[in-house]
């Protein structure tokens, strides 16, 4: 069942589904120095995110190092986040895989756990065509009653959702929007326009183009940088409809951070920056390796500029 559109009044921006928000943070998974999940750190970081502008926390996304979370770890993280934030924030769970059966199983478990939505990525590696993508999503939504946010990130999956496929996806009961990490502003505008009648939401999935995507119809962001620049990102979105100059200034202030966080594979630079600010992070798991000192210096320099302007 599709969530009803939110009634929260942010003039000039499309509505978002109830239980979600405009600032969604793709949360890292904190590890201890033995590379074990740090559940206390998970709770402290979740609380920090909510305190700094996050409306919904995405658990088990790519930024969470989902490919290397084992067995029950993702579900332990989910329970810890739920315990930490209660009803102060929405929770989205990454449940997508390149196996439809596995995606259904994970989405059903997430629904039973009480999450507000599932993030379902386009199947990777086997890279189905457009008919396969549509059949995959239909199978998930037929099996599980939970709002689904699609995740279109061809740089990781090797397959992009075509513009012509979006009206069919948006018409599926339960599909409420997409995390758009394609990087094509023209296409994003087309998607927002042709899906508008379905209450289908576009969230920016690439911080570098958060503001440009708002300008072509996005309603919010699913962000990595919000771990560190949550207040600025939230203020940028709030300002955009009535004070675009302020929105632009805030976005440009964050641009060096947005870029520095992806100089090396994410979330390597982010974890180093969080640790430098005394926030839970810990190491990354192989095959990722620690960020170089040069990368850490670049992230911290960008972050210092943002902090100085607060």
Domains in the chain, please, with CATH?
Answer: 23-241 (3.20.20.70)
Place 12 in a pLDDT band, splitting at 50, 70 and 90: confident
Tokens of 244: 């675009």
Annotated catalytic residue within 151, 166, 187, 271: 151
Annotated catalytic residue within 124, 125, 166, 179: 179
pLDDT digits (tens, 9 = 90+) for 30-67: 999 999 999 999 999 999 999 999 999 999 999 999 99
pLDDT digits (tens, 9 = 90+) for 115-125: 999 999 999 99
Of the candidates 215, 177, 228, the residue with the CA atom closest to the CA atom of residue 49:
228
Task: Read off the pTM.
Answer: 0.95
DSSP three-state, residue 221: strand
179 is an active site residue: yes
Radius of gyration of the chain (CA): 18
* Bridge partners, 57 (sequence order): 25, 91
125 is an active site residue: no
Start-to-end CA span in the chain (Å): 41
């Amino acid at each position: 069942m599709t969530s009803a559109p939110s009634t929260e009044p942010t003039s000039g921006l499309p509505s978002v589904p109830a239980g979600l928000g405009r600032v969604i943070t793709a949360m890292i998974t904190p590890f201890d120095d033995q590379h074990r999940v740090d559940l206390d750190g998970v709770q402290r970081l979740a609380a920090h995110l909510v305190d700094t502008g996050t409306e919904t926390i995405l658990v088990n996304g790519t930024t969470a190092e989902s490919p290397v979370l084992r067995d029950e770890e993702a579900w332990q993280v989910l329970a810890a986040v739920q315990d930490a934030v209660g009803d102060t924030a929405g929770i989205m769970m990454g449940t997508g895989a390149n196996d439809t059966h596995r995606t259904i199983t994970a989405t059903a478990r997430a629904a039973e756990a009480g999450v507000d939505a599932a993030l379902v990525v386009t199947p990777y590696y086997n890279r189905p065509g457009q008919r396969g993508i549509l059949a995959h999503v239909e199978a998930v939504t037929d099996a599980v009653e939970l709002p689904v946010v699609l995740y279109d990130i061809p740089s990781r999956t090797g397959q992009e959702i075509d513009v012509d496929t979006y009206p069919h996806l948006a018409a599926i009961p339960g599909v409420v929007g997409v995390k758009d990490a394609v990087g094509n502003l023209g296409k994003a505008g087309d998607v927002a326009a042709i899906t508008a009648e379905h209450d289908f939401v576009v969230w920016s999935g690439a911080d570098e183009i958060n503001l440009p995507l708002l300008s072509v119809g996005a309603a919010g962001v699913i962000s990595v940088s919000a771990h560190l620049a949550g207040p600025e990102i939230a203020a940028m979105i709030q300002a955009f409809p009535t004070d675009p100059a302020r929105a632009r200034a805030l976005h440009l202030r964050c641009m060096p951070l947005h870029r520095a966080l992806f100089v090396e594979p994410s979330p390597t630079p982010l974890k180093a920056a969080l640790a430098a600010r005394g926030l839970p992070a810990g190491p990354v798991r192989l095959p990722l390796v620690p960020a170089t000192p040069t990368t850490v210096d670049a992230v911290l320099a960008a972050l210092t500029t943002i902090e100085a302007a607060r």
